[in-house]
Amino acid sequence: MNIATFAKRFWGQGLILILLILLATFPLYTMPLFGSDYPLIFLQAIIMFVILTVSWAFFSGPTGYISLAPAAFFGIGIYTTAVVGKSLPLLATVAAGGVVSFIIALLVGAVTLRLKGIFFAVFTFGLVVLIKELLLFWEITVTGTRGRFVLLVDNDTIYYIIFGILILTLLTTYFIRRSKFGMAMQSIGENEEAAAHMGVNVTLVKVITFAISAIFMGAAGAIMATKWTYVDPYVAFDIRMSFLPVLMAIFGGVGTYYGPILGSVVFSYLEELLLTKFPYYYMLTFGIILVVVILYLPGGVASLIERLRQRLQKGGLTGKHANT
C-alpha cells in the first residue's frame, strides 16, 4: 500500500483522533487562550446535547420508533445526583444515574414497546410529565419541601466526565450498529412483521435498545446536575430536553452515524449564537432554519454533505477519464 492510498483510506480516522486529542486537552488551554471558563462551559453543553441526540438516534433511528422520553431519563440522572450525590463518590453517582435510568427504561419499554406509531410517542412524552408530577407531589406532601440542593463540582471535572460519557456513547453506538443486534434493529425499522417472521425477537430488541440509550442520557443528567446549586422537578424534567434531541437529529440527519453528531453541534452553536446576538428573533430565526432544512433537506445536513462528496468523486472520475 503506497502513501497516497494509505492517506486516502485512513484520513477520516486520523481526523477524528486529532479532534479527540484536542477535546481531551481543551481545559488545559481554555484560560490561557480565551481568558475565561465560558468556552469550556459552552463545550460542556454541546457535548451534553451530542450525548442526548446520539442516544436518541441510537434507538429511534434504526427502529423508527419516535421516543420523546429523553427528558425523563436526563431528569432521572439529575435527581439521582440530588439524592445520593453527597453520600457516594462522583463517578459512582454518575454510574448510578445511568443504572437507574436503564432499569426504569427497561420496565417502561417492556410495557410500552408493544405500542406503535403515535401511541408510543405520546406515551413517552407522558412519561416525562408523569415522573415530574409524581416527584413534585411526593416532595410537597411527604417531605414538605420542593427540590433539593446539589453538591457543586468544578468545571474541569465536569468536562472530563461528560467527555468520557461521550466517548462511551459513540463507541457503544458504533459497535452495536455494526453487530447482529444492530442488523436486527435495522430490520425492525424496515419491516417489523418481516423481521418477526425471520426469527427476530422484536420486542426484546426494542426494549434492550431503548434501555441502553437511557444509560447515557441518565449519566449525562447526573454529571450536569453538579453545575446547579438547586434542582426541582420542573428544572430536572424540562420538556425541551425531549424535543431538542429529536430536532437536532433531524437537522443533522438520522440515517447516518455522524448526522446526529453534526446536527447537535451545529444546532447548539446556532442556539447560543441566536440567543446571544438576536434574543428577540431567536425563535423566529430558529423556526425558519428548521423549516428550510425539513423542506429542502429531508435527509438533514448529512445528506447535503453526501451529495457534495458524490459530486466531487464524479468530478474526479470525469477528470481522470478526460486525461486518459
The dihedral region occupied by 65, where left means phi > 0, alpha psi between -120 and 50, and beta the remainder, is: beta
Residue 296: enclosing H or E segment and its boundaries? helix 282-296
pLDDT digits over 149-208, tens only? Answer: 898 899 999 999 999 999 999 999 989 988 888 898 889 888 888 888 888 888 899 999
Counting as low any pLDDT under 70, the low residues of the chain are 1-14, 313-324
pLDDT at 6: 47
pLDDT at 324: 55
pLDDT at 1: 52
pLDDT digits over 258-272, tens only? Answer: 888 988 998 888 888
pLDDT at 316: 57
pTM: 0.89
Closest residue by Cα to residue 66 from 122, 130, 9: 122
Mean pLDDT taken over the chain: 85
Find all residues with CB under 8 Å of 27, minimum gap 6, and list them: 40, 155, 156, 159, 160
